[in-house]
Structure 1
Amino acid sequence: MQFEEGELEQEWFRKRTYKHFDRPVNSIFVENTIDPSFVSTHSFAPLIQFNKVTKKYKLCAVERKRKVVKKSRAIMYASHKDACILSYYSSLLGNLLNNYYYENDLDENVIAYRSLGRSNYDFSAKAYNFAMLESPVSVLAFDVSGFFDNLDHKLLKSKLKRILNMDELPKDWYAIYKFVTKFHYVKKDELKLIPAFLKSLDTPGVEPIATVAELKREKINFYPNPTHGRGIPQGTPISATLSNLYLMAFDKEIKDFCVSIGAFYQRYSDDILVICSPEREGEVSKKIKYLMDREKLSLNEEKTEIRTFDKNKREFTPSDLSQYLGFSFGYNDVFIRQSSMARQWRKMRKSIQRTKRYAEINIQSGKSNKVYTKKLRRKFSPLQYRNFSSYARRGAHAFNSRSILKQTRRLERAFEMELQKIKSDLEKP
């Protein structure tokens, strides 16, 4: 397999331009990546860790007010060379898993981290249509606690050997396994405390932040995997594929069980959905918990939701809605989740204010006499862009939902009104 310099269109290869402890790879390194002997002797670099904080707005039942709940996740990203290798092995593993899913009729059940050519609304619509057809049903949504942090290393290794159909891991695969289980990382916040490293991080370009020797000289901490015997880093190119591998036996057994009782099963990463007849509800919960225990994982009881879905029920409250993949199922219609819509409204208003602020500065300084809105329209207008508005409209079509269309149009109208107000206030004839 030959590559021309500058032409790296491998299906598994993605050019990365972030800063790390090395430069982006060239075509020679990509060629070497597919050589097992090269990978088996490769020295992996430490990961860089940062905390990704997301905000959620939850309704407090007592005070009837919405409060901000912050959730922090530790994300770790690999060096360019390591990411290239991990991407290739993720592709190999993904192909093996796809064959397993096809052979075991799981193609429609495991939907995360796979190129299936469909969107969340397609899978959510399939679940909704099943619920409508089989109504009344119980909709059970389970969440795995600390999924990536709790994958058992011995079980992961045995599953990797099983999918590879080998008694022992080859040296190259063992190198991959060892890296994701015995990883080390440095904290990005600690790198920023060193002036030279901070300057490198803030300087545009792809020059390395530092060498490993320089990190050691500045006494930067190299942190090991914090949980002995379990856990893989979240954020590397192979992490998601390994998480699917880990649950391959679970997926088959729970899917076969659901088929036997006429139930519906889908899993998106650590989110598990089962739709069954109300009298089977307890049986399903018991089976899920048993299989999770076997995989040395546990369910987050706080996030477990069980709802009764009855299309003949005339009235419902928000607590009756079943939530799945960003959508809420009503008895006669589907909605975009309230939290998702609220997030889009906040994004829209912040973007409008930012555009107004920049326009005021440019107009007052004489650099411009108009408000530039092209980028803003790409984010929020119902045009043929990959934005929330176009996604929501496709979702409305998939569900045949007037409510989703109404939610979307309301946001679009508000956006246009805000935009026109800025233009009329700032653009003088």
Structure 2
Amino acid sequence: MNLEKWKIKNKKSRNYSHFDSRVYLDKVWDYIKDPNKIKRHGFYPFIHYTQSFKRYSKHTGIKKKNREICYSAHLDRFIYSYYSYQLNNYYNNRVKIDGINDSAIAYRDNIQLNNIHFAKKAIDFIRQKEECYIIIGDFTKFFDSLDHTYLKKMLCSLLEVEKFPDDFYAVFKNITKFSTWDMESLLNINNLKNNPKDIIKFKQLKKAISPEQYKKYKKLYIKKNSNNYGIPQGSAISAVLSNVYMLEFDKKIKTYVSEKNGLYMRYSDDFIVILPKITLEDFKEDLIYIETVIKSVPKLQLEQDKTQLFAYSNKIIRSCNEEFLENVKNGKPFMNYLGFTFDGQDVTLRDKTVSKYYYRLYRKIKTIIKNNGVTKKGKRISSKNVYLKYSIKGSKKGKGNFITYVKRVEQIFSNEKGVAQISRKHMQKIRKQLNKIK
């Protein structure tokens, strides 16, 4: 991405309240491009809140999960984004030199592909082999665990410097030794409650609190990251920093796997290794090598419960965790990768993805049915919103919906009969449910 495209993409302000005012990029461009300004810039704390959500599976039911959300002040976001743009340019050049351009596949601004393409690439590679072993791994608390000293070392290597330029150091210091201010206390200061209605009111404020209130309460509410590890997930610069952190890992694993005519790809904290037609003993040695490389990166740890090993032969996938991993039981005879399920023959959308779609759809319709199609004030509830969010009609408007995603899946996996079964008969299912409204 060139600079002009980046400026167009980032020109608008985000629609939320923070400690500074909303601002457009053109108003602050001269400031954020000046290294002398950035090295002296005072960054505001991130506003933090815990997002609770439900994950649904037809096998395990509903599970509650929490996600920690941090978002930066408006000017700070532009700074993080601009320095992310610069680091991405360095990174994109480096991965070509290291031969890992097609291995580190997440958060890349120069690769016009998505998870569907990468899942298809992995599955196609498996199908081309008579036999192979497959490793699917997931790193534990990836962003929360990034070691600051090692990250600094990798950044200096990327920039080819022994010491950071002052402006880069200021950005690095503030994203590693970041501070947060909980949204709940900001709501209290504004005499608002911690509920959806008042949170909307809070986000519509010109500023989260006044400058006077900020000075009054900052010592009470600001929490600093005193650890020598961890960066806030979701900031404008976090993604590229995580990729830089993994440069040596990606290079070592890609080189090793390529020598064995295999395939390696890493999508953020998920990775896949495919090693064609090797003996059981050779595969054990391969696992030991991969574990050694993982241990060489500070604080990088595999999520044992999510690490899955498979053997593929004669169009059949077999889980083989128990043969190689301690205290990890064999899974089912199919692999899940980047939202897709492959059983050795057929590709389908992952069951969890489809279940979540129908869970949300039926929950929405159930609410309408429960209220007999009218609001508390007696107004008729339109079914238009349901169709926009969950049907083909909505997929043709604006940013699209889940059916838009399914259509992309159908295009990329063009020869797979079962990959997009969700798009069939879903309109009838919606109508059938809505007809229950009296």
Find out whether 1:78 has 2:72 as its counterpart: yes
Q: Which amino acid aligns with 1:43?
A: G
Deviations, residues 202-248 of structure 1 (Å, cap 9, x unaligned) = 2563411114651452464211115x211111121101110011001
Extract unaligned runs of 5+ from structure 1.
Answer: 1-7, 60-64
Deviation at 1:91, TM superposition (A): 0.8
Shift of the 334–362 alpha-carbon distance from structure 1 to 2, 3 Å rule, reads same
Alignment of 1:17-416 (within 5 A): 17-26=15-24, 27-57=26-56, 66-115=60-109, 116-196=111-191, 202-203=201-202, 205-211=204-210, 213-218=212-217, 220-226=220-226, 228-277=227-276, 278-279=278-279, 280-296=282-298, 297-313=300-316, 319-356=332-369, 360-361=373-374, 365=378, 372-383=382-393, 384-385=395-396, 386-399=400-413, 400-416=415-431
Q: Deviations over 1:296-338 (max 9, x none)?
A: 1111111111122234349999801111001011121111111
**Amino acid paired to 1:283:** E
The C-alpha deviation readout for 1:238-265, integer Å capped at 9, x for no partner, is 0111001100111111111111011111
Distance (Å, rounded) in 2 between the aligned partners of 1:401 and 1:326: 15
For the structure 1 residues 204 and 124, does the alpha-carbon distance in structure 2 shift closer, same or farther, using more than 3 Å as the test? closer
Seen in structure 2, the aligned counterparts of structure 1 residues 81 and 404 have a Cα distance that, compared at 3 Å, is: same
TM-score by length of 1: 0.86
| TM-score relative to the length of structure 2 | 0.85
Equivalent position SS for 1:140:
strand
Q: Which amino acid letter does the alignment assign opposite residue 21 of structure 1?
A: F
Distance 1:175 1:183, change over 3 A: same
Question: Quick one: which amino acid aligns to residue 332 of structure 1?
Answer: Q
Aligned counterparts of 2:289 and 2:52: Cα–Cα separation in 1 = 34
> 1:11–1:105: structure 2 CA closer, same or farther, 3 Å change rule?
farther
Q: How many Å separate the matches in 1 of 2:199 and 2:361?
A: 33
Report the Cα distance in structure 1 between the residues aligned to 2:121 and 2:46, rounded to whole angstroms: 39
- Give SS of 1:192's match: helix
What is the letter of the counterpart of residue 401 of structure 1?
Answer: E
- 18-27 or 388-397: bigger deviation: 388-397
Moved more, 85-94 or 395-404: 395-404
Q: 1:416 to 1:183 in 2, by over 3 A?
A: same
Distance 1:321 1:149, change over 3 A: same
- Note closer, same or farther for the CA distance 1:48–1:247 as it changes in structure 2 (3 Å cut): same
Measured in 1, the distance between the counterparts of 2:317 and 2:262 equals: 25
Q: Which amino acid aligns with 1:30?
A: W
Relative distance call for 1:68 and 1:34 in structure 2 (3 A) is same
Paired residues of 2:349 and 2:420 also in contact (CA < 8 A) = no
Contact 2:119–2:337 under 8 Å retained in 1: yes
- The amino acid across from 2:389 in the alignment is K
Output the CA distance in 1 between the equivalents of 2:188 and 2:376: 39
**Distance in structure 1 (CA, Å) of the matches to 2:317 and 2:148:** 50
- Residue aligned with 1:126, SS: helix
- Percent of counterpart pairs with the same letter? 28
CA change 1:412–1:55 in 2 (3 A) is same
Whole-angstrom distance in 1 between the partners of 2:132 and 2:236: 38
Return the alpha-carbon distance in structure 1 between the equivalents of residues 85 and 317 of structure 2: 48
The whole-number CA distance in structure 1 between the counterparts of 2:123 and 2:261 is 15
2:8 alignment partner, SS class: coil
Q: Deviations over 1:326-369 (max 9, x none)?
A: 1011121111111111100111112223455677326984x55x
Deviations 1:148-185 (A, max 9, x none): 11111111111111111222101100000000111111
Cα distance 1:132–1:176, how it changes in 2: closer, same or farther (>3 A)?
A: same
User: Any stretches of 5+ residues in structure 2 without a counterpart?
Assistant: 1-5, 320-329
**RMSD over aligned Cα atoms:** 2.7
Q: Indicate conservation of the 8 Å contact 1:139/1:273, yes or no.
A: yes
Distance in 2 between the 1:130 and 1:410 partners? 32
1: CA distance, partners of 2:250 / 2:12: 29
How far residue 111 of structure 1 moved from its aligned partner, in angstroms, is: 1.4
Which string of whole-angstrom CA distances, capped at 9 and with x for unpartnered residues, describes residues 365-393 of structure 1? 4x55xx63333222222354322123123
CA contact (8 A) 2:311 2:318 kept: no
Contact 2:311–2:317 under 8 Å retained in 1: no
Distance 1:345 1:200 in 2: 27
Q: Does the aligned pair in 2 maintain the 1:19–1:201 contact within 8 Å? A: no
CA contact (8 A) 1:19 1:209 kept: yes
Return the letter of the residue paired with 2:402: F
The separation in 1 between residues aligned to 2:318 and 2:257, in whole angstroms, is 29
